[in-house]
Amino acid sequence: MNDRQEPEWLDALGRCGLEVTGKAASDGPPVNAAIYAVSGFEVEPVTATPASSPHAADELDEAWHRHAAQVSLYGEHGEFLILPPVPGGSQVGWVRVKDPVGKNLPSRICAATGSPEFIAVSVNGRHLCATSVEESDYWVVVHEF
């Protein structure tokens, strides 16, 4: 059937301005391990921004991009892996993407999905940089596998 709609997760990534370059489920760390690295009980953020701050979105964008660069998230061609930031995205698994826009990714994800939360890892699956919403703060979390 040629008029099939693309999956919701693929559409969402496109609305975030991300270019899907391939499904890469086997390259990333176990999805549950990545989720736990961001939402586990003892997780500490590298940056916490009060959501009530007048420039919270801008601060989150800047902090995520700064930390993503510091942990070598981006591969040789600017690629990284992301769990689609939609309901059921963890079942889809890691998707290889490029960000041709190169800035404001948390804000673009929030505009497309209603939340700035997402988990990204380097193509080799070793370096994680994610955003989460915890109580009244936006967090940037980094982790190495």
Identify whether 38 is part of a domain: yes
Identify whether 5 is part of a domain: no
CB of 90 closer than 8 Å to CB of 31 = yes
Percent of the chain with pLDDT over 90: 87
What is the Cα–Cα distance from 90 to 73, expressed in whole angstroms? 19
The number of domains in the chain is 1
Identify whether 8 is part of a domain: no
CB neighbour class for 135 (10 Å; exposed up to 12, middle 13-18, buried from 19): exposed
The residue with greater pLDDT, 132 or 25, is: 132
Interval 14-71: pLDDT, tens: 999 999 998 655 678 999 999 999 999 999 999 999 999 999 999 999 999 999 999 9
Q: Length of the chain, please?
A: 145
* Residue 31 three-state SS: helix
What pLDDT, on the 0 to 100 scale, is given for residue 26? 66
pLDDT > 70? residue 1 = no
Identify whether 116 is part of a domain: yes
What is the Cα–Cα distance from 111 to 107, expressed in whole angstroms? 6
